Amino acid sequence: MLTKRIIPCLDIKEGRVVKGVRFLSLRDAGDPVEVARLYDSEQADELVFLDITASYENRKTLIELVEEIAKNIFLPFTVGGGVTGIDDIRNLLNAGAEKVSINTQAVKYPDLISEASRKFGSQCIVVAIDAKKERDNWQVYINGGRTPAGLDALFWAKKVAELGAGEILLTSMDYDGTKDGFDMSLTKTVTSAVNIPVIASGGAGKLEHFYSILTEGGADAALAASLFHYQEYSVKEVKRYLQERGVRVRL
């Protein structure tokens, strides 16, 4: 049986980890490779590297960094941020990324999803959806959460699955950074509407948050950044907690 995945996310700015300052045990907490190695040793199931300035400043993710990570970490990882087209995706995959995450460009040019999944296979095309609650629905935001896309998140999730996305990285902008738990309502709405894996993101603060989103919420994976960065919990602690409660994890 397939296990549920716990995924630490590393925000990358100019090739350095942002928010990694609390890693006292590391020689260089800003070094993506060192941080990735630590998560690898903690039994993380995958890693996500998000180049947070890329989309906004129209920068391309540093291929060298991806190569350096792939040279050192034998764990699947997804790279996102500033992905503009097929060549970009090919370069990231060739450099060693298992999957590439597209956000803004997927909204602007939905054909990129179908073209990329036809070319490289659905399994390596992740569409990141940043969603924010409006009256009765959720609005999709692009450009790193700066611009409303005029799209309903549920509609968009179904659409990207139809176009051939292999996975959805679903971030609740309302819950992100609050530590109040994942957005149960948003996650449930999306996981029950699509038949591709969904990674829930935004709001992890306690162990039980992981449990509820992976069971009741129907998520296939749960992503957290600061919780792991600031070492409030280790990945292993989260997975042990889940295992004790009957959730299948790799330990």
Partner 1 sequence: MIAIIDYGMGNIHSVNKAFQLYGAETIVTNNAEEIRRSKKIVLPGVGAFDEAMQELKKRSLISVIREELVKGKPFLGICLGMQLLFEHSAEAGQAQGLGILKGRVEQFEDKADLKVPHMGWNRLQINKKDCPLLKDLSDSPYVYFCHSYYPIPVDNDVIAATTNYGKDFVSVVWQNNVYGVQFHPEKSQRVGLRIIENFLALC
Closest distance of CB 123 from partner 1, Å? 4
58 binds partner 1 (CB under 8 A): no
162 binds partner 1 (CB under 8 A): no
Q: Which residues on neighbouring strands pair with residue 132, listed in sequence order?
A: 139
DSSP H helices, 123-175, are 153-163
Q: Which helix (H) or strand (E) holds 210?
A: helix 207-214
Task: Pick one of 18, 26, 33, 75: the residue that binds partner 1 (CB under 8 A).
Answer: 75
Catalytic residue among 45, 51, 130, 176: 130
Q: Is 136 among the residues known to form the active site?
A: no
d(C-alpha 183, C-alpha 54), whole Å: 26
d(C-alpha 147, C-alpha 218), whole Å: 28
Task: Pick one of 55, 61, 103, 122: the residue that binds partner 1 (CB under 8 A).
Answer: 122
Positive or negative, the CA dihedral 39, 175, 219, 210 is: positive
166 binds partner 1 (CB under 8 A): yes
Q: What ranges make up the beta strands (E) of 57-212? A: 77-80, 99-102, 125-133, 138-142, 147-152, 167-172, 198-201
String marking each residue 196-215 x if it binds partner 1 according to CB under 8 A: xx------------------
How many Cβ atoms are within 10 Å of 98's Cβ, its own excluded?
17
98 binds partner 1 (CB under 8 A): yes
Q: Is 51 among the residues known to form the active site?
A: no
Q: Which residues on neighbouring strands pair with residue 185, listed in sequence order?
A: none
108 binds partner 1 (CB under 8 A): no
- Supply the residues annotated as catalytic: 11, 130
Binding site for partner 1 (CB under 8 A): 1-5, 40, 45-46, 67, 70-71, 74-76, 90, 93-96, 98-99, 118-124, 166-167, 195-197, 220-221, 250
